[in-house]
Amino acid sequence: MNALIRRQDFVSELCLALAHRLEPERQFLILTAYLDESGTHGDSPVTVMAGALGTVRQWSRFQKIFDRLKRDHQFETFHSKEFVQRTGRFSGWSPERCIALLKDLAISTEGTFTDGVVMIFENAAYEEEYRNGDKPRRLILDSKYGLCFRQCLYYFMLQA
């Protein structure tokens, strides 16, 4: 068995739990979402959600690379809002240090996964066309995050 997979990690354990055997090329849809309310309230003009689709081997490889990036760039958790505003873990970071991390993150994901998706919509259009538009009585509509998630999941289902 490949040394990459021999190392017990979350994705390998998930594969074993769901399929009852390790299948390195098995496709998994793993959505890791940091839904911190940015983009869904206040004066934010857009809501955004992104996801990636990959095999157990791809996720294991990415996790190893991401762990090294966290160590090299000295952060534990990446929160976009903190990073952009340079608060919390990213307080005091210089523009050069931020650019270096973004460059390494871009390189680490280039060609890494089977597919990726980004869902973006204008919050004004969501309110005017989706929430306040014509709809059947008692129809329960998705929240902004719910709508993004549903569309990302639909995209991945079409790709599988």
At 106-149, the pLDDT tens digits run 998 888 888 888 888 898 999 899 999 888 888 999 998 889 88
Closest CA to 50 of 157, 159, 153: 153
Provide the domain count of the chain: 1
Token reading at 106 = 């871009």
Q: Which residues contact 12 (CB under 8 A, 6 or more apart)?
A: 5, 22, 56, 60
Radius of gyration of the chain (CA): 19
pLDDT at position 73: 96
Our measurement of the distance from residue 122's CA atom to the centroid of its chain's CA atoms, rounded to an integer in Å, reads 19
Exposure class string for 101-127: b at 16+ Cβ within 10 A, else e? beebbeeeeeebbeebbebebebeebe
pLDDT tens profile 40-76: 566 778 888 888 888 778 888 888 999 999 999 999 9
pTM (two decimals): 0.66
Residue 93 region by backbone torsions, left for phi larger than 0, else alpha for psi between -120 and 50, else beta: beta
Range of the domain at 76: 3-159
